[in-house]
Amino acid sequence: MMMKSVGVNDPSGVAEARRAATDLAQRLGFNETDKGKLALVATELSTNLVKHGSGGEILVGAYEDSESQGIEILALDKGPGMSNVAACLEDGYSSAGTAGRGLGAVIRQSHFIDIGSWPGVGTAVLARVAPGAAPLVKPPTVPTWGGVSVAKAGEEVCGDALSVSDAGNVRTLLVVDGLGHGPEAAEAAVEAVRLFHRYNGNTIANLLDYIHGGLRSTRGAAVSVARFDPATKNVSFSGIGNVAGVIITAGETKRMVSMAGTAGFNTRKIRTFDYPFSHGLIVLHSDGLASSWTVDRYPNLAALHPSLIAAILYRDFTRVRDDATVLVGKW
């Protein structure tokens, strides 16, 4: 699902972020108690952006994984950052002369929370509210994935999409970038996701070929698919167009090979490239993210939840004039 982006630089932004969260909760059928939790989380996180981060951005969207399902809120700023995240999580701690109970309140109302912060770089907070669920004592222990997908400013729909399939003992990741942006790009992206799940039992080269053929009635898209098999410790990657695939292991970054062309129109013979991989991150992203990004400024980035990693890359490297989607798989 596309995430709603809200710029927060003053109290009006705080109100808009709260409204975006509660509107989504209403559409998803949250009860009044859970809707109230979500409103509090959105208010505290967006207020912190104004007080501590010199403004920033709130992303609101639905999520679903093996642990739970609900709504997640991401608060992103490029402010001074935190030198001691653990201290900032304690009630009563404040660097702005306030009561300092904001993050503590967020923790109490959330099912799950994670924070990435580096001095001089900024802070990113992920908070998830799962209806009726108790707080998660510790982060998920199973291999996880997460992502962000945000429409170009002024567009009602996103021409990008992401999806994940856990069929058999392998995990397959997809990112698609419909040509251009707006409703017709979104139509191509939605069709690519449908075809991805219909034909996922095939090799990824054949899967991508089915997607390529199925998009002929649309305006076309850039599409990349990555599949990790833990038994062989291998990532297979196949891509058409400018959806990038990257492997990050022990701080080293390797960019995978994608072919030129547009799925649904023209491409060379679809090829699969195999890369050794046993642990780390697999990142797929549309060209809404600058291709020159690195993770050098983020010590211990891989320890964070994948949704938070995706949001940090989005925050620091988005091109802003296009839809942007980042999908992170973590093992």
For 29, 49, 50, 205, 277, the CA distances from 247, given in Å and listed in that order, are 38, 31, 35, 19, 8
Q: Residue 1 has what pLDDT?
A: 74
Confidence of residue 68 (pLDDT cuts 50, 70, 90): confident
CA distance 67 to 55: 32
Nearest CA to 222 out of 291, 277, 301, 120 is that of 291
CA distance 267 to 257: 14
Q: Tell me which amino acid residue 87 is.
A: A
Per-residue pLDDT band at 96 (split at 50, 70, 90) = very low
Q: How confident is the model at residue 95, as a pLDDT?
A: 45
Rounded CA-CA distance 224/222 in Å is 7
Confidence band for 98, pLDDT divided at 50, 70 and 90: very low
Structure confidence at residue 266 (pLDDT): 86
Under 8 Å between Cβ of 277 and 235: yes
CB 60 within 8 A of CB 71: yes
Q: Are 72 and 310 in contact (CB under 8 A)?
A: no
Q: Which of 311, 305, 309 is nearest to 141 (CA)?
A: 305
Buried b (16+ CB within 10 A) or exposed e, 79-90: bbbbeebeebee
Please report the domains of the chain, with CATH numbers, ordered by start residue.
4-129 (3.30.565.10), 144-330 (3.60.40.10)
Supply 148's token pair: 């962000």
pLDDT band at 268 (very low <50, low <70, confident <90, very high): confident
Q: What is the mean pLDDT of residues 90-116?
A: 67
Model pLDDT, residue 94: 45
Among 91-100, 160-169, 180-189, the range with the most confident prediction by mean pLDDT is 180-189
Q: Which of the 8 DSSP states describes residue 91?
A: T
